[in-house]
Amino acid sequence: MIITITLNPAVDKTVEIPDFEVGTVNRVASVRLDAGGKGINVSKVIMSLGGKSCASGVVGGATGNFIKDALNRMGIDNEFLTINGETRTNLKVVDSKRKTNTDINEPGPMLSSDDLKRLEEIIFEKVDKDTVMVFSGSVPANVEKDIYGKWIRTARNAGAKTILDADGQLLKLGIEAGPYMVKPNIIELERFFGEEISGIQVAERKARSLIDTYGIEFVAVSLGSKGAIFLNKDSSLFTPGIEVEVKSTVGAGDSMVAALTYSIDTGIAFEEAARLAVASATANVMTTGTQPADFEVIMELQKKVVFDYVYKS
């Protein structure tokens, strides 16, 4: 069973504004509303791949109801804690003429200690050795940054595999807890090590040190349009990016996490997991908003994925 956790979900409002200009009136060409938040995006892509997951986290107000209703319509199992306050709305401005994407993200409502205790009861009630848990995205401002690390240890003690996709202290303290898999992008990896990382070989060495130091089984480093690096204890693969028409980059990393989570849950081998991850992330940037890509598109893109070994034992 796959469980995705989203502590700070959002309604993603994507507006297309050709030739967007700051400081003047802009006319919106199209609007799209999606249930969003990194864990929720992961659940949507897992569904596209033919898998099943339960999306969990916290929601509140009319926007929270929108998210639950949207997931129900999509057929995605979900179990959220309803809190006081209003789930945030994140604005995504897509300039189709200049090929730019601008995110304007709200902070989201606060969570009390009682809220977190009740949520823990929900998400850990059925966790066992057959569970894969995804901890991803930001948390409300008043939540301690060791929350993912704490939950990773709890899940691991129950025999579950854990996947971490976060930034800053959430990433640092989460990595120190020893998750099964971690997926930083190159900027997040640089922040973790506190230094600039230049080149595939250096990035591979830094990522491999996470395996050696913290006992992580699988690391994926996304490099944006340049591709990605995938590592386990035995080997490292570099996959260059696939050239496609980019409509929105929002959720590309979540699609990669979804494909890897699905692969771990179903036992897909390392190389094929990497191939599926690159195809899923690429398919995502070809869609608008944070809607998941079609399965057929992902399958076609898999044929275009190539890779080189950076390291092999």
Catalytic positions, written as ranges: 254
Exposure of 159 in the CB half-sphere (CA atoms within 13 A): 7
SS3 140: coil
- Beta bridge partners, 181, equal 163, 218
Q: What is the DSSP letter of 34?
A: E
Separation between Cα atoms, residue 246 and residue 240, nearest integer Å = 16
Tokens of 132: 């894969």
Which residue carries 């398919």 as its tokens?
Answer: 283
Q: Output DSSP code: residue 58.
A: E
Write the single-letter amino acid at 78: N
With H, G, I as helix, E, B as strand and everything else as coil, classify residue 119: helix
Q: How far apart are CA 132 and CA 262, in angstroms?
A: 9
CA distances from 262 to 182, 199, 274, 295 (A): 14, 29, 11, 13
Of 301, 307, 283, nearest in space to 293 by CA? 283
- If one counts every other C-beta atom within 10 angstroms of the C-beta of residue 251, the result is 29
- Alpha-carbon distance of 17 to 32, in angstroms, equals 12
